[in-house]
C-alpha cells in the first residue's frame, strides 16, 4: 500500500478510506465505553457524538467528488496490483451502500439505536419489554427504511440488503435450505445425545462461590495463553458480552456469576477468539477495507472455533483443569478433567443463547432469524414478539421463558440496530468446524499442542489461512482455499456426532 502523496484516483480513494477508518475506530471505542463504563447520564450526549461521527463518515463517503473518483479509478483499474483490486472492490461496495441513504436517515437511525440500547440496559434486568417497545419500533421503522433504500440500490430483497451488511454476498435463499436441513437433523439428534448422556455419569458442578476477581484472573491467564496481548487490548464487564475496539486496541467484555464460573470463562474465551482475529488482520492494510475482517460469519467462526472447537475439548481441559482447580482452591473430584469435560459438553436445552451448548445453539439462531424476517417484512408486529418468541422456544426446545428477560430481551442486537446479523452465528459455527478440521489435518501437532497449552501451531495456521487474508477473498473463496471446499454442513454434523455420540 502506497504511503506517498496521492497521484492517481485510486490513491486519493485510499487516503479517503484511511480517514474513514480512523473515524470508524473512534466510533467503535465510544461504543465500547458506552457499553462498559459510561455513566447512564452520559447517554444523551453520547448519542449526539455517535450520530455526528456517522454523519461525518457518510459525508466523506458520499461527497460530490466520489462518483468521479470511482469512475476514474475504474477506468484505470488495469494498473492496480496485488491487494489493490480487492481493496477497490470493497471500496465500491461500501460507496454503493452509502449512496442509498440520506444523511438525515443515517443520523436518525444512529440516534434511535443509541436511545433504544440505553433503555434496553434497564429494561432487560427488569424483564420489561413494554418499556423499550416504542424505542424499538422506531429502530425497526428506520432500519426498514434503510434496508429498502439499500435493497433498491443493490437490486436485492429487503432482508438480503440488511444481511449483506454483515455477510457480504449472503442471501436468505442460500441460508433457508441449510437451516431447514439443520432443523430436520437436530431434534432426533438431540434425543440421541440426551440418551447417550444419561447413560454416563452426570457431571458435578464444583462448589462455589467463585469470586469475581478470581474468575477474572483465571480468564486473563487463559487469554494470555491463547495469545491475547494486553498491550493491545483489555477485559471489562458489560451487560452483554462483546468484542469491540480496533485491531490495535481490542476491547472485550464478559459478565460474571459467582455461583457458576463456567459461563463467564467460556464467554471470555469466545470473545478472545474474536479479538485474536482482529489482532491478526494484515497490518500493511490497516485503515483500508481489504484489511478488515471478512464478514460476521467468518468473525463468529473464529470465536466459536476457540470456544467450542478448542476450549470445550478434552485436550484443552487436560491443560486447563489444573489451572481452574488451583485458581479456586478446589480439592474435590468435581475438578477432575473428565468431570469438567462432561460439564463443558453438557447438552441441556436452555433459555439463553450465549450459554447454549453446541447441539441446541442452532435452534436459538433459527428462531431469531425467522422472527426478524417476519418483523422486517411486516408479517408480525413488535407487540406480538414476546408471544411469538415464547411459542417458538416451546416448539424448538420445549421451553417457555418465565419472563422476557429470558426471552426476547436477552440479546442486544435488535435494540442496537443489528438486523440481519443472527444467521451469521450458525453459519460461523459450521465454518468453525470446517476450518478446525482442515487445520488439524494440515498440522497434526495442533491437538497435542492444545493439551500442553501451546496454541501457536493452531494460530499460525489461522494467521496464514484466515486472519492474515483480511477481505482479500470472498468468504467462499477463502473457505475453498483453506479447506478445499465451500461450506459443507456435513462437517459440522460429523463434529457433533463425534463429540456427543462418539
Q: Which residues are catalytic?
A: 271
How far apart are alpha carbons 168 and 294 in whole angstroms? 8
Question: Which three cell numbers mark 294?
Answer: 471478512
Interhelix angle 261-280/337-344, rounded to 10 degrees, is: 80
- Provide the 3-class DSSP secondary structure of residue 236: strand
Give me 381's grid cell.
408486529
> For residues 451 and 323, is the Cβ–Cβ distance under 8 A?
no
C-alpha torsion sign, points 335, 341, 345, 348: negative
Omega before residue 361 within 30° of 0, cis: no
> Cell 434486568 sits at which residue?
125
Residues 90, 95, 100: CA angle, nearest 5 degrees: 135
| Cβ atoms 108, 143 nearer than 8 A | no
Sign of the C-alpha dihedral computed for residues 239, 266, 248 and 235 taken in this order: positive
Going by the DSSP 8-state scheme, the letter that residue 202 receives in this structure is P
Among residues 13, 21, 20, 18, the alpha carbon closest in space to that of 69 is found at 13
Determine whether 227 is exposed, middle or buried from the number of CB atoms within 10 Å of its CB (0-12, 13-18, 19+).
middle
| Of the candidates 351, 389, 290, the residue with the CA atom closest to the CA atom of residue 90 | 290
* 402-439 exposure pattern, b = at least 16 Cβ within 10 A, e = fewer: eebbbbbbbbbebbbbbbbbbbbbbbbbbbbbbbbbbb
Query: Is residue 349 within 8 Å of 410, Cβ to Cβ?
Result: no
Residue 498: count of CB within 10 angstroms of its CB: 9
What is the rounded distance in angstroms from the CA atom of residue 369 to the CA atom of residue 381? 15
Other beta carbons less than 10 A from residue 19's beta carbon: 13
Which is it for the CA torsion 103, 415, 157, 488, positive or negative? positive
* Interatomic CA distance for residues 35 and 321, integer angstroms: 32
Cell numbers representing residue 175 in the block: 441460508
Count of residues in the chain:
502
Task: Give Dmax (Cα) for the chain.
Answer: 71
Amino acid at each position: 500500500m502506497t504511503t506517498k502523496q496521492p497521484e492517481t484516483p485510486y490513491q486519493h480513494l485510499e487516503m479517503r478510506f484511511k480517514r474513514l477508518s480512523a473515524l470508524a475506530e473512534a466510533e467503535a471505542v465510544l461504543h465500547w465505553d458506552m457499553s462498559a463504563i459510561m455513566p447512564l447520564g452520559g447517554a444523551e450526549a453520547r448519542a449526539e457524538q455517535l450520530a455526528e461521527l456517522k454523519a461525518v463518515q457518510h459525508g466523506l463517503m458520499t461527497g460530490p467528488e466520489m462518483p468521479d473518483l470511482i469512475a476514474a479509478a475504474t477506468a484505470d483499474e488495469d494498473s492496480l496490483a496485488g491487494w489493490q483490486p480487492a481493496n477497490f472492490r470493497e471500496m465500491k461496495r461500501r460507496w454503493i451502500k452509502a449512496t442509498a441513504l440520506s444523511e438525515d436517515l443515517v443520523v436518525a437511525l444512529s440516534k434511535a439505536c443509541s436511545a433504544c440500547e440505553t433503555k434496553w440496559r434497564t429494561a432487560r434486568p427488569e424483564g420489561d419489554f413494554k418499556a423499550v417497545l416504542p424505542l424499538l419500533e422506531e429502530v425497526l421503522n428506520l432500519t426498514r427504511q434503510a434496508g429498502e433504500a439499500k435493497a433498491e440500490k443493490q437490486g436485492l430483497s429487503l432482508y438480503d440488503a440488511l444481511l449483506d451488511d454483515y455477510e457480504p454476498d449472503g442471501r436468505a435463499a442460500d441460508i433457508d435450505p441449510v437451516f431447514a436441513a439443520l432443523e430436520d437433523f437436530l431434534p432426533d439428534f438431540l434425543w440421541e445425545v440426551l440418551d447417550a448422556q444419561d447413560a454416563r455419569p452426570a457431571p458435578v458442578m464444583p462448589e462455589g462461590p467463585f469470586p469475581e476477581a478470581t474468575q477474572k484472573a483465571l480468564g486473563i491467564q487463559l487469554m494470555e495463553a491463547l495469545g491475547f496481548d494486553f498491550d493491545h487490548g483489555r477485559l471489562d464487564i458489560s451487560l452483554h458480552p462483546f468484542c469491540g475496539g480496533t485491531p490495535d486496541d481490542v476491547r472485550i467484555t464478559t459478565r460474571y456469576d459467582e455461583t457458576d464460573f463456567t459461563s463467564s470463562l467460556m464467554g471470555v474465551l469466545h470473545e478472545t477468539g474474536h479479538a485474536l482475529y482482529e489482532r491478526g488482520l494484515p497490518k500493511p492494510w490497516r485503515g483500508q477495507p481489504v484489511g478488515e475482517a471478512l464478514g460476521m460469519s467468518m468473525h463468529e467462526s473464529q470465536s466459536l472455533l476457540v470456544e467450542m472447537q478448542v476450549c470445550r475439548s478434552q485436550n484443552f481441559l487436560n491443560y486447563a483443569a489444573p489451572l481452574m482447580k488451583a485458581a479456586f482452591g478446589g480439592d474435590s473430584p468435581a475438578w477432575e478433567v473428565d468431570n469438567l469435560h462432561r460439564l463443558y459438553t453438557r447438552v441441556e436445552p436452555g433459555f439463553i443463547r450465549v450459554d447454549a451448548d453446541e447441539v441446541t445453539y442452532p435452534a436459538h439462531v433459527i428462531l431469531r432469524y425467522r422472527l426478524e424476517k417476519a418483523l422486517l417484512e411486516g408479517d408480525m408486529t413488535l407487540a406480538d414478539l414476546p408471544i411469538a418468541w415464547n411459542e417458538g422456544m416451546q416448539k424448538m426446545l420445549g421451553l417457555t421463558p418465565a419472563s422476557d428477560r429470558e426471552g426476547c430481551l436477552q440479546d442486544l442486537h435488535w435494540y442496537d440496530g443489528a438486523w440481519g446479523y443472527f444467521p451469521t452465528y450458525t453459519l460461523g459455527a459450521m465454518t468453525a468446524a470446517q476450518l478446525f478440521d482442515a487445520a488439524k489435518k494440515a498440522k497434526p501437532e495442533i491437538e497435542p499442542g492444545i493439551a500442553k497449552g501451546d496454541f501457536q501451531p493452531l494460530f499460525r495456521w489461522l494467521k496464514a489461512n484466515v486472519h492474515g487474508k483480511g477481505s482479500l477473498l470472498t468468504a467462499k473463496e477463502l473457505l475453498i482455499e483453506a479447506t478445499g471446499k465451500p461450506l459443507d454442513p456435513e462437517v459440522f454434523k460429523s463434529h457433533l456426532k463425534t463429540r456427543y455420540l462418539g
